[in-house]
Structure 1
Amino acid sequence: MSRISAIAVIGLLLASPVLWAQAQKARSDVPAKPKKLYCWNQGNERICSDALPQDAVNAAREEFSVNSGLRRGEVQRAMTDEERAGAAVEAAQRQLDLAAEQTRQRTEQAMLATYENEADLRRVFVERTGILDNNIQTAHYNVASLRDALVTLLSTAGNRELAGSPVADKQAAEIRQRHTELLAQKRMQASFEQQRTALDAEIEETLQRYRLLKGVASDPRG
């Protein structure tokens, strides 16, 4: 071995302990990945493990540090399909409620900016009240007319029976038809009257809201 080679070998031998110590220190400086301990309920049994099995992935669990024993967090159980669907419905409803509230606020601001007094606001409802009142009157007239016609038909049929004559099929069919039309008109009349009552409530609620926004305690006309 040459003199140069011998010196190089000696230098490497002398440096090896230093290099080994530095390598060990470098490895010790790398923080070890903290290990977790998982704890979950399986039936009536409490199970803890440093490995989470596949059948427990969706279960509610607590996580602890293996090194310190401290609780690191909690994971809620995965929702079922029904729960996810319910949560989606609730989220959609919250969006609808928010949109409704924003619409109400814009409507109120527009109402304040558009109508200077209650008289102007009341005129908004004039057309709707006029249409409903006309429908109610028409339905009332139709009910009265159909009732009178039905009474006449029944009276005629009754007189024929009292005279010993059978009621003709055509007359009986007409009685049934008039009765059906009368019931339909009465339902229509009741519907119009319910709509009118609801409109009165809507008008009053709108006026009360308008007074509140305007800072008026009651109807100034009173």
Structure 2
Amino acid sequence: MLLATLAAPALAQNKGDSGKKLYCWDEGSRRICSDTLPPEAVNSARQEFNARSGTRSAEIQRALTAEERADAALAEAQQKIDAAAADTRRRTEQAMLATYGSEDALRRVFAERTAIVDNNINTALYNVASLREALAAQLLSAGNRELAGQKVSDKQAGEIRQRHTELLAQLRLQAAFEQQRKAMEVEIAESLARYRELKGIAPPAAPDAAPAPAPTQG
């Protein structure tokens, strides 16, 4: 009984020590080890050891800076965007194969989209021409008034500024529609090439080059 009583505190102490840790980290060129972790070392890279057995129980990387956290978040977001784009591409290709039984059917869809964009371009061209003609007429009228020694009215000057602003806006629209049309041409070519690849269809043969003219007899 006496031996059991004396051994109990020692067992309890050993049990408590089994969870105690030893921390080791670097401060510049110095290696620091302690059974307590000071606040200034919380964000440092460190190793943790079991104080009783001496075995390493964990290795903690240093905390990221705000800039590093932002970079990591950006990289993670980009990975998600890339994965979503790849998944969308895969589902689009599957839908392409299931929906379009022939290349002509796919071309008809692109033809409808192309017609819409071409109509937008033609409308913008008409608006630009009309606004340019009206602006030129207003500028000519204002110039004639000045040559005649008359003052250009505030109303007329305001109309000229407004017409000029509208013309610039239409020119931007026209440029945007034309850029959209060029992008569609690239999209159409890439989609048709991918469709042929998925279907195992050989691309159309390029037209043969015209034969060279026969040399003239001297």
Paired residues of 2:18 and 2:51 also in contact (CA < 8 A): no
Counterpart AA for 2:185: D
1:119 aligns with 2:104: yes
Q: Which ranges of structure 2 fall in alignment gaps of 5 or more residues?
A: 208-218
Seen in structure 2, the aligned counterparts of structure 1 residues 172 and 65 have a Cα distance that, compared at 3 Å, is: closer
Residue of 51, 70, 82 corresponding to 1:97: 82
TM-score, normalised to structure 1, is 0.73
Q: Give the aligned partner of residue 212 of structure 1.
A: 197
Residue of 191, 194, 208 corresponding to 2:176: 191
SS of alignment partner, residue 218 of structure 1? coil
Identity of aligned residues (%): 62
Whole-angstrom distance in 1 between the partners of 2:109 and 2:32: 69
SS of alignment partner, residue 31 of structure 2? strand
Aligned-residue offset at 1:207:
1.5
1:154 aligns with 2:139: yes
Aligned-residue offset at 1:107:
1.3
Paired residues of 1:211 and 1:219 also in contact (CA < 8 A): no
* Alignment root-mean-square deviation, CA: 3.2
Tell which structure's C-alpha radius of gyration is larger.
1
Q: Which ranges of structure 1 fall in alignment gaps of 5 or more residues?
A: 1-15
Residue of 59, 74, 77 corresponding to 2:59: 74
Whole-angstrom distance in 1 between the partners of 2:108 and 2:184: 14
Whole-angstrom distance in 1 between the partners of 2:165 and 2:185: 31
Seen in structure 2, the aligned counterparts of structure 1 residues 134 and 69 have a Cα distance that, compared at 3 Å, is: same
Counterpart AA for 1:144: A
Whole-angstrom distance in 1 between the partners of 2:94 and 2:86: 12
Whole-angstrom distance in 1 between the partners of 2:64 and 2:143: 71
Q: Give the aligned partner of residue 125 of structure 2.
A: 140
Q: Give the aligned partner of residue 149 of structure 2.
A: 164
1:52 aligns with 2:37: yes
Q: Give the aligned partner of residue 201 of structure 1.
A: 186
Seen in structure 2, the aligned counterparts of structure 1 residues 53 and 180 have a Cα distance that, compared at 3 Å, is: closer
Whole-angstrom distance in 1 between the partners of 2:39 and 2:161: 71
Q: Encode CA deviations 1:63-90: one digit per residue, 9 max, x unaligned.
A: 4566776655521123355544554443
SS of alignment partner, residue 166 of structure 1? coil
Whole-angstrom distance in 1 between the partners of 2:19 and 2:144: 103
Aligned residues: 200
Residue of 179, 182, 201 corresponding to 2:167: 182
Whole-angstrom distance in 1 between the partners of 2:35 and 2:150: 98
